[in-house]
Amino acid sequence: MKISKERLKQIIQEEMKIAEEEGDEKDQATKTLSEFSKKFYELAKQVRGVKGLDVKEMQLIMDITLSLIKGAAAGTLGPKLQQLEAIVSSRLGDNK
């Protein structure tokens, strides 16, 4: 099977476009992850000023946070995170 120069150019352009789009998605994911990390860093600084947490509460918060991050990284928690956020917000009176 013979491919014309024009068809070959078209195929190459399509493949380059796909590669660029995939690169853009990876860049966006990296940017989002970087922003997420920065927010956690800021949260860690804010925790130093929180008064009244006992050791058990701190450990539970840390364990829950780590479990949520691991579950989200596995790609299994999307809908459950939304439900959890709604429950926590309504029970603590922090409605958005």
What pLDDT score does 29 carry? 67
Would you call 68 exposed, middle or buried from its count of C-beta atoms within 10 A (0-12, 13-18, 19+)? middle
Query: Scanning the structure block, which residue is given the tokens 């690169």?
Result: 23
Determine phi and psi for 84, rounding to 5 degrees: -60, -45
Q: Which residues contact 89 (CB under 8 A, 6 or more apart)?
A: 95, 96
Helix (H/G/I), strand (E/B), else coil: 78: helix
Who's near 41: CB < 8 A, 6+ residues apart? Answer: none
Where does the pLDDT of residue 1 fall: very low under 50, low under 70, confident under 90, or very high at 90 and above?
A: low
**Tens digit of pLDDT for each residue in 6-31?**
777 777 788 777 777 776 776 776 67
Chain position carrying tokens 């195929």: 11
* pLDDT digit string, tens, across residues 72-90: 888 878 888 888 888 988 8
Instruction: Tell the residue number behind the tokens 């918060």, with chain if given.
Output: 61
